[in-house]
Amino acid sequence: METFEVKKMKTNPMNNKIEISAKNIIAVASGKGGVGKSTVSVNLALALVSKGKKVGVLDADIYGPNVPLMLGIRGEKATSDGSKIIPIKKHGLEIMSVGFITEENKALIWRGPLANKLIEQFLGDVAWGELDYLIIDLPPGTGDVPLSIIQKLNLTGAVIVTTPQEAAIADVVKMINMFETTNNKILGIVENMKYITCPDSQTKIELFPRSDDNDFSGFKYETISTFPFIPGIGNKDKNGIPFYLRNREHETSKEYDNLAKKVMTV
Amino acid sequence: METFEVKKMKTNPMNNKIEISAKNIIAVASGKGGVGKSTVSVNLALALVSKGKKVGVLDADIYGPNVPLMLGIRGEKATSDGSKIIPIKKHGLEIMSVGFITEENKALIWRGPLANKLIEQFLGDVAWGELDYLIIDLPPGTGDVPLSIIQKLNLTGAVIVTTPQEAAIADVVKMINMFETTNNKILGIVENMKYITCPDSQTKIELFPRSDDNDFSGFKYETISTFPFIPGIGNKDKNGIPFYLRNREHETSKEYDNLAKKVMTV
């Protein structure tokens, strides 16, 4: 693994938060993995770019840094200007990922303290441009790393991504508690993978049918977007173009535009 | 949160492993969350019971302990006989879960050291009967907690669950490295959520269509089972009966029987 020495970080002495040159910092969080958090992060970021915003994406999911794959960035490593790590630019985004500073396919047996140190570096030591929005793809869950991140940043707010399944709902409640406990604003819930459309019969097949226990009505935060499951939405095409950019008129791309607008009203 | 005092654990002085009264200990692991690891754990365990085996399930996924939900166990807490925690018995299984000793819906902001202590207790301080198989539903990823678990137990072997998506494949490689690095045997790969069958047209819709990069042929371990996505497979019915027990003749239940037979040949 390549490592970068952690330089003195710029922190605000009033509250010990790391300062980042972004007008808004939006955390995209989920209780469970595999619910589409990275997909939502990337497509939300691209939708914000299409509205003329300067946007950065920080892929902080140390256990599965998927953002580079989705954006068609492969094999690139982060470079340093001597004091800061330089984000990679693609599709109008500035992108930084744990994936850029680790060898692909190497066993990333992160121990807690190492993970936190790496993440602190990410937070304070990336040479972002002057961003309107920094979208942070958090690791799933309420563990050490997501907690450290949200405690060290002045978040504008959090978007919580979930699938409408019983096991995920309990996790959403835990996520809500984590953000409330740390005095952060929750912008709303994004319900993902609600159904899949059969290409032959056009039937909308519910992926997570309700049982007695999966009921979204109990959350005190609004569901601000609902997305279907789209096979291949996480894949780039052969030219490395992600779903949103190659399907601008798709109803799901338009729903990402709506989500971006909601985020912009905060 | 209720806590139990950690008693002196029985360890083997030769190798410092925790001794558990199970002839075989099978870890069910995944690189990503949300790929169906708990579903595979529970249904594999039930299939082993149907073959006449005495089976325990340890739900070690501290970030999302889903096993109790899937087995229709709700609101129950673990009890202690003074020195050991007593598993809950249901559907012929002995079941222990982090979910039994934590308050539901409480923010489980586990810090690394606390998580490890809790897990060590689980490993060494549960009053399992004489088991033929202990199935361990690991937390996803290669982090602190799964690593601690596999280092402290004499695993018979590991089953790695994944979906056939690009982002998951890189994670499988990391999982393989983790088990090889710790000198553990990998029984094989379980490929989950391969397709969904449309109830109207019977079309099999691939959920993760291949892109240039998602190719399972590169693994050096066999894919020992392939399962479709079945809406509601993670739900119990109104009587708390899980999928496998209420659909014994379903092709997916039969594939779980096959998986159990493969595990039994180890």
pLDDT in tens, A159-216: 999 998 877 777 888 899 999 999 999 999 999 999 999 999 999 999 988 765 555 6
CB B47 within 8 A of CB B259: yes
Contact A229/A196 with Cβ under 8 angstroms?
A: yes
Amino acid (one-letter) located at A91: H
Say yes or no: A83 contacts chain B, CB-CB below 8 A: no
Lowest model confidence (mean pLDDT) among A46-60, A110-124, A238-252: A110-124
* DSSP notation for A143-189: SHHHHHHHHHS--SEEEEEE-SSHHHHHHHHHHHHHHHHTT--EEEE
Closest CB from B69, B107, B143 relative to A166: B69
**Range list of H helices, B19-165:** 37-50, 67-70, 112-124, 144-152
Whole-angstrom distance, CA of residue B245 vs CA of residue B16: 38
Name A85's Cβ contacts closer than 8 Å, sequence gap at least 6.
A4, A78, A79, A96, A101, A121, A122, A125, A126, A127
Q: Between chains, do A177 and B205 touch, taking CB under 8 Å as contact?
A: no
Q: List chain B residues with CB under 8 Å of A32.
A: 33-34, 63-64
pLDDT grade, residue A238 (50/70/90)? Answer: confident
Average pLDDT over residues B186-207: 96
Residues of chain A contacting residue B107, judged by C-beta atoms under 8 Å apart: 142, 174, 177-178, 181
Give yes or no for residue B214 having a pLDDT over 60: no
Asked if the C-beta of B117 comes within 8 angstroms of chain A's C-beta atoms, the answer is: no
Mutate to test the interface with A, among B40, B214, B235, B239 (most CBs of A within 10 A): B235
Quick check: A107 contacting B, CB < 8 Å? yes
Q: Cβ contact (<8 Å) for B174 and A105?
A: yes
**Nearest beta carbon to residue A32 from set B33, B109, B112:** B33
Alpha-carbon gap, residue A161 to A167, rounded angstroms: 13
How much is the ipTM here?
0.80
- The verdict on A234 touching B (C-beta cutoff 8 Å) is yes
Which chain A residues contact residue B232 at CB under 8 A?
Answer: 208-209, 211
Q: Looking at the predicted structure, is the pLDDT value of residue B72 above 50?
A: yes
Does B132 reach chain A within 8 Å, measured CB to CB? Answer: no
Residue B181 contacts A, CB cutoff 8 Å:
yes
Do B203 and A206 make contact, defined as CB atoms within 8 angstroms? no
- Which of A45-59, A166-180, B93-107 is most confident? A45-59
Higher pLDDT, B13 or A128: A128
Residue A64, pLDDT score: 75
* Chain A nearest CA to B60, separation (Å): 14
**CB-based contact (8 Å) between A3 and chain B?**
no
Q: Is B110 on the interface with A (CB under 8 A)?
A: yes
Q: Which of residues 6-35 of A touch B (CB under 8 A)?
A: 31-35
Answer for the pair B189, B224: CB distance below 8 angstroms, yes or no: yes
* Residue B266 near chain A (CB below 8 Å): no
Q: Is B189 left (phi over 0), alpha (psi -120 to 50) or beta?
A: beta
Cβ of A246 under 8 Å from any chain B Cβ?
Answer: no
SS3 B148: helix
Q: Using CB atoms, pick whichever of B38, B147, B236 lies closest to residue A109.
A: B147
Q: In this complex, do A231 and B207 lie within 8 Å of one another by their Cβ atoms?
A: yes
With a threshold of 0.95, does the pTM exceed it?
no
A110–B206 CB contact, under 8 Å: no
Lowest-pLDDT range of A146-155, B2-11, B252-261: B2-11
The residue-averaged pLDDT of A31-59 equals: 95
